[in-house]
Amino acid sequence: MSMTLARVLVVLLVLVAVRGEAAETVAGVATKARAEAKRWKADAILVEVQVHPQPDGTLGPGHGASFKFLSPSTRQALMVAIAEGKVMSMPMPGAQSTIAIHNRRRRRRAFWRPTMRSAA
C-alpha cells in the first residue's frame, strides 16, 4: 500500500471514529469540500470522489467522503476528507494525467443533436 493511500485511510478512520449528531447529505459535504479547496487554491478543480454513504444515501455516524482537488496552475493536489461534520485536508501529489470532474450545476451545451427525418 502506498504511503499516500495509507495517509488517506488513517484520516478517514480518525474522522469516522468521532461520533456526530445528524447525518449529512453527499451534496452538503461536497459543498464544504469545494469551499475548503477554494481556500487552498482559487483554481482548484475536483478530480476524484470517494463516498461511503449509509443505505439511505446520507453520511451518518461511521460514514464519510473524501474529495481530491487539483490546482492546474501549480499541479498540486489536495485531499479533503469529511465525516461526522469534521473537515480535514492534506496536500497530495498531483498527477499529470488527471481530468476534472464536471460540475453538474452548470448547464452544458450539446455538441450533437439528433434530427428527426420524416419517412418519405
DSSP characters over 11-78: HHHHHHHS--SS-EEHHHHHHHHHHHHHHH-TT-EEEEEEEE--TTSEE-TT-EEEEEEEETTTTEEE
Predicted local confidence at residue 23, as pLDDT: 76
With contact defined as beta carbons under 8 Å apart, do 95 and 42 qualify?
no
Residue 100 belongs to some domain of the structure: no
Whole domain around residue 15: which residue ranges?
3-92
pLDDT, average across residues 15-24: 57
Residue 86 belongs to some domain of the structure: yes
Residue 38 belongs to some domain of the structure: yes
Residue 35 belongs to some domain of the structure: yes
Predicted local confidence at residue 119, as pLDDT: 53
Predicted local confidence at residue 85, as pLDDT: 81
Residue 64 belongs to some domain of the structure: yes
Q: How many domains does the chain have?
A: 1
The pLDDT of residue 104 is above 70: no
Measured in degrees and rounded to the nearest 5, phi and psi for residue 111 equal -85, -20
Q: Compute the distance between CA of residue 120 and CA of residue 98 in angstroms, rounded to an integer.
A: 48
Q: Quote the pTM value.
A: 0.63
Residue 108 belongs to some domain of the structure: no
Highest mean pLDDT among 19-33, 38-52, 92-106: 38-52
Task: Determine which helix (DSSP H) or strand (DSSP E) holds 10, and give its type and residue range.
Answer: helix 3-17
The pLDDT of residue 102 is above 80: no
Split at pLDDT 50, 70, 90, the class of 3 is: low
